[in-house]
Chain A
Amino acid sequence: MKRFIGFIKKEFYHIFRDRRSLFILFGMPIAQILLFGFAITNEINNVDIAILDHSKDTTTEEIINKISASKYFTIKQMIVRETDIETAFKKGKIKAVLNFEKDFSKNLIKEQKATIQIITDATDPNTANSITNYINSILQNYQQSKNKDIVIEYQIIPQTRMVYNPELKSVFMFVPGVMTIILMLVSAMMTSISITREKELGTMEILLVSPLKPFQVIIGKVVPYIFLSVINAAVIVVLSIFIFKMPVQGSLFLLGTESVLFIITSLALGILISTIAETQQSAMMISLMGLMLPVILLSGFIFPISSMPAPLQVISNIIPAKWFIIIIKGIMLKGVGMAYVWKETLILIGMTLFFIGLSVKKYKIRLE
């Protein structure tokens, strides 16, 4: 046991004396969570639009006022001629143009209908879609307020309610994903690098020719990172609660336990990588290419799994991050307990045991 503690102490010296690894450990989680929380967002906020008003009457003015009063849109420009629409888009700032037809009010009263053309910049299709939807709903709203007194015989009124994230904050979606990426990266990459470093510097040779058992070396490598990853997970949760007002509906204890489980899964993967890689560089490449990319692309973190092609949906099942994201989304946003995530938890446990078993089998007690 004393041997083991001595080994762990040595590992902490390594971590705290290497500025680069310290930065990856503690700088990156904070930077990533802030970046995803503030900068990268799918929400519509203060989108610049332009108006081309051919009629300039009371109705169009009312509609324009309603739109500019919403926090979603800022009216940047009033266009006079049709030909200027193209120029406005090309300048890049304007994301949508509202084109009111001539004699808007008159048509509305006389013919009971008038048209507005909504032209959007679809270079970013998601944003274009959202803009159209938002403008449509503002217009519908206006229409309803006008038609208050008229009774329509058949009317379907959809009542939508967004549950678990009523304000549709995209940070709620990013936090679980970022947490997954960071835990994966810190745990798997850092352990695999630290084990391969011993191989590269030749110290593994001395460790092998010592009474330390292989499993003691491995566990000794892993324990410091479990500890640091738990701190990291806590920092991320605290940041998301206090800065982004993200709720944790479920039990913090369950969240912590599941995080530790996922950390162990990642560490086991890291050990597995280190049994394959001979140098720190290749360990890093395998971790980045083999872990980071699948986590970002196939875990459902950014792109929903249900809209992937079928083969990719199948592949996504072998990505541990997918299951962890389901678990923490459930706990944080829906407030579910173990009764709802036991299946995913079991899958993670199974994967962990598999990785550990495989690395024990592949671990070399000699040099070749």
Chain B
Amino acid sequence: MSISLSNISKSYKKVKAVQDISFDVNPGELFGLIGPDGAGKTTIFRILTTLLISDEGTATVAGFDVVKDYKAIRKAVGYMPGRFSLYQDLTVEENLAFFATIFGTTIEENYDLIEDIYVQIEPFKNRRAGKLSGGMKQKLALCCALIHKPKVLFLDEPTTGVDPVSRKEFWEMLKRLQKKGITILVSTPYMDEAALCDRIALIQGGKILKIDTPEAIVSQFPKTIYNVGAVNMYKLIQSLQQYEHVYSVFPFGEFVHYTDKRDLFEISDLQSYLEKEGLTAIHIESTKANIEDAFMELAR
């Protein structure tokens, strides 16, 4: 096991940040922690990166105990905290060189590992890190976390506050890094990114709801989901929520995801109900569940 947690709990004063968390990450796996803000993702990261000591339970990273062997772990892992944590008054190149030096290596030695990413920010290598755009900052932070060729990479919400194009690029990079044999634990509040992980753990309120591959989680979704669209979105949601057979209603982009209580459901029934409610341009079709639907269902 590259990362292993068993029965980890941690409280801050009276707030229980994480409760009885257990999961394993296999070597070379891209594992995602998916959950909203305040779910306890950062606390898990800090326990695994030896920054916090859990109240209960044990954990190992790369075979080392997070409390006893914290020094060994600090040499073996790369960590990118949720908040941008590089030196804003140092240039791109100086930041990278600094992190290479403190890990006892050089940029040249491990250049092949970061090359794909670094070429994108190299044109700005003399710019101060504080003056970079959000996406650039994250790429630089990733380079700095990778420069010492870590066995395990911890990325805490690496794409928060990053534009969609850079987010996509960032995940492509993670996939490439994974191919080089690095175990990656990544957290994100974005459900669409969850599908890109090998396995995910859905967490909320400090507890794990489910751990599985994204496909399995989606396929286990118990109900049929219908995409419902109409001209007046607000009225549509209100009407659906008042429908007598409603099970769940969630807005999703330009549509509303709707599930029904009944096993036998006729689209025409709903169609006529909505028409009666005065909605126009009604469009209903069945669709596949996604991670967000699964999360909402599990979090009910």
Contacts and interface: CB of A to CB of B under 8 A. Distances in A.
Interface of A: 2-3, 5-7, 9-10, 13-14, 17-18, 201-203, 205-212, 365-368
B50 A366 contact: yes
Nearest to B80: A206
Contacts of B49: 209
B243 interface: no
Nearest to A366: B51
Nearest to B74: A209
Given A18-B89, A206-B79, A208-B51, 9 more contacts: A2-B101, A3-B104, A9-B98, A13-B87, A13-B90, A201-B88, A205-B79, A365-B70, A366-B50
Nearest to B90: A13
Interface of B: 46, 49-53, 70-71, 74-75, 77, 79, 81, 83-90, 94, 97-99, 101-104, 144
Scoring B86, B98, B102, B144 by chain A CB atoms within 10 A of each residue's CB, the highest score goes to B102
B15 to A, nearest CB: 14
B104 A2 contact: yes
A interface secondary structure, majority:
helix
A14 B87 CA distance: 9
Contacts of A3: 101-102, 104
Please provide the 5 A-B residue pairs with the shortest distance between their CB atoms, ordered closest to farther: A6-B101, A202-B85, A209-B79, A367-B51, A17-B89
Contacts of A208: 50-51, 74
Contacts of A2: 101, 104
A212 B100 CA distance: 12
A7 B88 contact: no
29 contacts: A6-B97, A6-B101, A6-B102, A7-B98, A7-B101, A13-B89, A13-B90, A13-B94, A14-B87, A17-B89, A201-B88, A202-B85, A203-B85, A203-B86, A205-B51, A206-B79, A206-B81, A207-B102, A208-B51, A208-B74, A209-B77, A209-B79, A211-B71, A211-B102, A211-B103, A366-B51, A366-B53, A367-B51, A367-B52
B87 A10 contact: yes
Contacts of A13: 87, 89-90, 94
A203 B50 CA distance: 15
A184 to B, nearest CB: 26
A3 B81 CA distance: 22
